[in-house]
């Protein structure tokens, strides 16, 4: 026998209140975790330990064989010192782009927090996250400084365009947190994989990555819970618009965070055919980019951002697995 569900206004109100309480409990737990377990970059990292010194020719900076460039014959044919410098340049660029992204993120979070009402459960957590992102920026920049390499991070034109990001929360907080996941999830995916596979060999890099992974887990969790709470309640037109722009942002951000820096290619005169083989026409590289967005893709499916129109954009951006059907 089928039992009819009670859809009275009182029942819907009780359900909404329970969902809000559950959401607030998650935010409070994340805030408490930021107090109970956090790091200070100039206290918890032994920067001046000789073992942590950054030496450009240190063989520990060489790219491992599991890396697409690291296993390429062109790279393997380079002198050991050059292989080490290329590997160090790659690591330092990732950190520079990371701190630039987190600079945009912090400004956006503060713009978001500026308009929060008294008693908002998000306010405290947003400030915890802003402080943690500030610490990440300091440790990333300290690492870059110690390499003594001319690392610039984002290309100039992209950096200029990115200055609009901190203002996105004034238009759509949901869109802003999609951007947040577009930057955080790919790097988190790569760093967790590096730690799991034992690919991090220099103790300074490992210390930085472990701190970053631990604290980013909270940041990603907040963004995901926020989107789960807010997106399904959006008016249909706004939800459709978000579904169409989300894959564009995610596709661009994943490539910004994971692609090789042009400055590195020019500095070490990496041949065009090598770049094409390793990064542009490499199915494995494309698969890794898609894999880095797997959790965000699942979230978008869960909260109703996948539809026939948006699915075409996901596929056009190359971030929807060919074997994976729309849900």
Q: What CATH number is attached to the domain comprising 85?
A: 1.10.620.20
In a domain, 323, yes or no: no
Please give the average per-residue pLDDT across 288-303, as a whole number: 96
Q: How far is CA 24 from the centre of its chain?
A: 24
In a domain, 108, yes or no: yes
**Whether residue 39 has pLDDT greater than 70:** yes
In a domain, 30, yes or no: yes
Please give the average per-residue pLDDT across 261-275, as a whole number: 92
What confidence tier does 4 reach under pLDDT thresholds 50, 70, 90? very low
Please give the average per-residue pLDDT across 241-267, as a whole number: 92
In a domain, 112, yes or no: yes
In a domain, 93, yes or no: yes
Q: How far is CA 91 from the centre of its chain?
A: 15
The tally of domains found in the chain comes to: 1
pLDDT at 1: 44
**Whether residue 324 has pLDDT greater than 60:** no
In a domain, 326, yes or no: no
pLDDT digits (tens, 9 = 90+) for 129-141: 999 999 999 999 9
pLDDT digits (tens, 9 = 90+) for 207-251: 999 999 999 999 999 999 999 999 999 999 999 999 999 999 999
**Whether residue 5 has pLDDT greater than 60:** no
In a domain, 10, yes or no: no
> Which residues lie closer than 8 Å to 212 by C-beta, 6 or more apart?
98, 136, 191
Please give the average per-residue pLDDT across 181-198, as a whole number: 92
Per-residue DSSP letter, 325:
-
**Whether residue 53 has pLDDT greater than 80:** yes
pLDDT digits (tens, 9 = 90+) for 92-151: 999 999 999 999 999 999 999 999 999 999 999 999 999 999 999 999 999 999 999 999
What confidence tier does 13 reach under pLDDT thresholds 50, 70, 90? low
> Which long-range contacts link 205-211 to residues 24+ away (Cβ below 8 Å)?
205/91, 205/143, 207/44, 207/45, 207/46, 207/52, 208/45, 208/95, 208/139, 208/140, 208/143, 211/39, 211/41, 211/44, 211/45, 211/136, 211/139
**Whether residue 14 has pLDDT greater than 80:** no
SS3 call for 314:
helix
Compute the distance between CA of residue 128 and CA of residue 34 in angstroms, rounded to an integer. 7
Please give the average per-residue pLDDT across 31-55, as a whole number: 95
Please give the average per-residue pLDDT across 49-61, as a whole number: 96
In a domain, 222, yes or no: yes
State phi, psi for 171 to the nearest 5 degrees. -105, -50
Q: For the residues of 96-165, what is the DSSP string, one character each? A: HHHHHHHHHHHHHHHHHHHTPPTT-HHHHHHHHHHHHHHHHHHHHHHHHHHHT-----S-HHHHHHGGGG
Compute the distance between CA of residue 312 and CA of residue 307 in angstroms, rounded to an integer. 9
**Whether residue 7 has pLDDT greater than 60:** no
Residue-averaged pLDDT of the chain: 92
pLDDT at 9: 60
**Whether residue 289 has pLDDT greater than 60:** yes
State phi, psi for 269 to the nearest 5 degrees. 50, 45
Range of 36's domain? Answer: 23-316
Compute the distance between CA of residue 140 and CA of residue 94 in angstroms, rounded to an integer. 9
Compute the distance between CA of residue 111 and CA of residue 86 in angstroms, rounded to an integer. 38
Please give the average per-residue pLDDT across 248-274, as a whole number: 91
Compute the distance between CA of residue 177 and CA of residue 300 in angstroms, rounded to an integer. 12
């Amino acid at each position: 026998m089928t039992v009819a569900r009670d859809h009275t206004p009182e029942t819907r109100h009780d359900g909404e209140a329970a969902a809000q309480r559950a959401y607030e409990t998650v935010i409070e737990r994340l805030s408490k975790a930021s107090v109970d377990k956090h790091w200070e970059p100039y206290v918890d990292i032994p920067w001046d330990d000789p073992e942590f010194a950054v030496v450009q020719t240190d063989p520990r900076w060489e790219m491992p064989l599991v890396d697409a460039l690291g296993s390429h014959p062109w790279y393997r044919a380079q002198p050991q010192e050059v292989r080490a410098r290329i590997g160090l340049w790659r690591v330092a660029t990732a950190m520079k782009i990371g701190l630039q992204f987190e600079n945009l993120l912090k400004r956006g979070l503060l713009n978001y927090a500026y308009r929060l009402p008294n008693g908002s459960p998000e306010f405290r957590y947003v400030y915890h996250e802003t402080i943690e992102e500030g610490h990440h920026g300091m440790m990333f920049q300290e690492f870059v400084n110690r390499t003594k390499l001319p690392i610039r991070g984002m290309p100039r034109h992209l950096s200029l365009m990115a200055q609009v990001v901190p203002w996105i929360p004034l238009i759509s907080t949901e869109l802003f947190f999609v951007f947040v996941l577009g930057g955080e999830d790919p790097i988190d995916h790569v760093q967790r994989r590096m730690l799991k596979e034992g690919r991090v060999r220099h103790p300074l890099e490992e210390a930085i990555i472990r701190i970053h992974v631990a604290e980013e887990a909270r940041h990603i969790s907040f963004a995901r819970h926020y989107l789960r709470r807010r997106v399904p309640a959006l008016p249909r037109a706004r939800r459709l618009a978000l579904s169409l722009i989300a894959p564009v942002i995610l596709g661009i951000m994943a490539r910004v965070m994971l692609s090789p820096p042009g400055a590195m290619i020019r500095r070490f005169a990496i041949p065009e055919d090598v770049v094409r083989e390793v990064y542009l026409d490499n199915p494995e590289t494309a698969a890794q980019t898609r894999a880095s967005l797997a959790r965000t893709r699942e979230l978008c499916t869960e909260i109703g951002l996948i539809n026939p129109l948006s699915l075409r954009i996901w596929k056009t951006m190359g971030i929807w697995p060919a074997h994976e059907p729309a849900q």
